[in-house]
Structure 1
Amino acid sequence: MAGLIVKNLSKTFEFQNKKIQVLKDINLDIPDRSFITMVGKSGCGKTTFLRIVAGLESKTEGQIEFINCKDRSKKKIGIVFQEPRLMPWLTVEQNLAFSLIKCKDKSYVKDKVQATLEILGLADFKKAYPSQISGGMAQRVSLGRTLCFDPKIILMDEPLGALDAFTRKKLQNELVDIFIKSGKTFIFVTHDIEEAVYLGQRVAVMNNGIITEEIQIDLDFYRNPEDAKFLEYKKSILNIYK
């Protein structure tokens, strides 16, 4: 397993001969086997932060140190986007297996895919194509593809934002299940404060490229959004933006 330490991370873009700073001196300690949520308004830098951690974008300044991963080639990071991004010509099980395309052990791939299908309740739909399943199922396939890859750190960029309330709640609970059973490190970006409090052991609040506050959530899983302490956490985050 692995965590990471972010030190003085900054990112500047150039647009029309002007420099735009989207991340400013981000410092964040994310322990191994923890679930961190990041919340903030659209455009505050959350997605850029994830893309830099994933290696999809370069940083301007700062450092990212991966705990227990001295060999960077073994750090294994998986990312789940807001859209499922499935390959429409592949079935559900083929989409899952695609993340293991370099694995030559066909027996391992078959067992890993089947186990993931069972975890996410998709076993009955393994032969279906993306066009034949619901949006919630498609997002589960997207998550399953990442789980099959078996990364040490899972990054999630508003993966539930486009779902209806009922499907969203179901997948939130499935994420908690997976986190508890797998012991992986999760960094989950959202603009939904209730979702951030429901999932996160710690909530990092972002505004204008800066982490303005970190709030420890001292609530056991599974959480009741109507609980007085839960509502208190939500209110304290909302007050940061006033």
Structure 2
Amino acid sequence: MPGCALAGAIAISPPRLDITLTGTQAAEAVKVVNLDTNPIRLKVSVAHWRLDEHNRVEVIPPTPQSADQWLLITPLEFVVEPGKFQTLRILVRPRVKPEVGEHRAMIFLDEQPPDTKEFATRNLARIGVGVYVWVPPVERKAIFHCADAGYFQKPMALLDLESTGNAHVRPAVQFVVWPKEKFPGKAGTVKVQESPSSPVVVPAGAVAAGLVPDIPVLPGTRRKIVFPLAESLPAGEYWLDLSGQVDSLPIAEVVPFIVPELPSGDARDGAH
């Protein structure tokens, strides 16, 4: 199901809400789909959040300027029959005069225990929908500090990014791993996708390719986005080819790295 967030047998579309607030209020909606063969009962809650040092959502206390204080959601508890959907309606209505820039909330949908004892031991799903409310004028400013790559139980890389504006920035960056002798000579020479919805294709001569996770770098923060390049690679010298942009900031970087010969018996997929 394209353009959806999935957890268990629950699909939500769109997976996040981007709302520009130009008046006193704004309305949005999400569709909650039951992909299971049994009814699913869900309860809605809202929280303020940030990302911790591992890029995981961390719930934090609300403030008058956090968007969780501005959301009116209906319904707050509902049952979705198998193969059916429920529309969740969201109204943004600030309780105070909003400051310019970004305001965040996370809408959590928690699956409730079923009434049927036969299914009472099933794992219950939790899914979150990020909500970004932007009050103009919005300024997105990114600083690219560095990129690195190496072998840490598997080939890994990182981007070190900073957001200095009043709204978050996201990387839209591809990577290609070339054996040193096959690098085409310039970052971004070959594209790995025909379009944002098409699959990633490893270019001829390369050994791996993919997309840097589009983890948000929240305003006023600096973040290292760490990601795997492959499950394993033969020992040798490689060049990591990074190209794309972080909002309006272009990225074109080449990082050499080495995959070492491992002692006999060690596995390249993470022995320790």
Where on the TM-score scale, by shorter chain, does this alignment land: which range? under 0.3
More strand as a share of residues: 2
TM-score (norm 1): 0.25
More helix as a share of residues: 1
Q: Which has the larger radius of gyration?
A: 2
